[in-house]
């Protein structure tokens, strides 16, 4: 297994009005190539949010960022740097976490959601004590998560985000 030391290349998406923070683990190779979160076209993150909010988000990075900010959603990842094999969350090691506390302090974040088990466990291990907000674990929208009926599960689970936005 070949590990590569990688530093998170993306800026967090948030502003002072953000109420919900969604955290992934670390950007995939496709996301790093596309210079935005959940950039793999097979990832179901954006299509799930479209279904939850019943609106077309658009496919450009600018459209996606505008959607997030308009809905008071912040988006970032738990990991600042790590050793990783390809885009495999299960291979992540030697973690240095991102400064999530700054986002929480500079906004109105009331709830934190993680996209998948790895992001959830890393958040709890490295950030929970400092940030002080328990995270809700959402199912991973990754194409690697191909369980039967996953699209419906994603929409039902991600709908909880809206409870903190009204």
Strand 4-7 relative to strand 20-24, pairing = unpaired
**pLDDT tens-digit map of 66-123:** 999 999 999 999 999 887 787 666 768 899 999 999 999 999 999 999 999 999 999 9
Tokens read off for 140 = 């991973």
The pTM (predicted TM-score) of the whole model is: 0.94
* Distance (Å, whole) CA 166 – CA 162: 7
User: What fold is seen in the domain 4-164?
Assistant: Uracil-DNA Glycosylase, subunit E (3.40.470)
What is the model's pLDDT at position 89?
Answer: 65
Which of the four pLDDT bands, split at 50, 70 and 90, describes residue 6?
confident
Q: Pseudo-torsion of CA 25, 28, 31, 32, nearest 10°?
A: 100
Residues above pLDDT 70, as percent of the chain: 96
């Amino acid at each position: 297994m070949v590990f590569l030391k990688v530093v998170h290349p993306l800026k967090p998406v948030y502003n002072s009005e953000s109420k919900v923070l969604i955290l992934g683990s670390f950007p995939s190779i496709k996301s790093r190539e596309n210079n935005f979160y959940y950039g793999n076209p097979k990832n179901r993150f954006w299509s799930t949010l479209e279904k939850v909010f019943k609106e077309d988000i658009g496919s450009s990075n600018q459209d996606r960022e505008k959607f997030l900010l308009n809905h008071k959603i912040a988006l970032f990842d738990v990991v600042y740097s790590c050793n990783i094999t390809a885009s495999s969350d299960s291979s992540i090691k030697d973690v240095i976490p991102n400064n999530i506390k700054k986002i929480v302090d500079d906004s109105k974040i009331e709830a934190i959601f993680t996209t998948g088990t790895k992001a959830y466990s890393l958040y709890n291990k490295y950030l929970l004590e400092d940030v002080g907000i328990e995270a809700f674990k959402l199912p991973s929208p990754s194409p690697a998560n191909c369980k039967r009926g996953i699209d419906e599960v994603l929409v039902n689970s991600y709908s909880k985000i809206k409870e903190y936005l009204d």
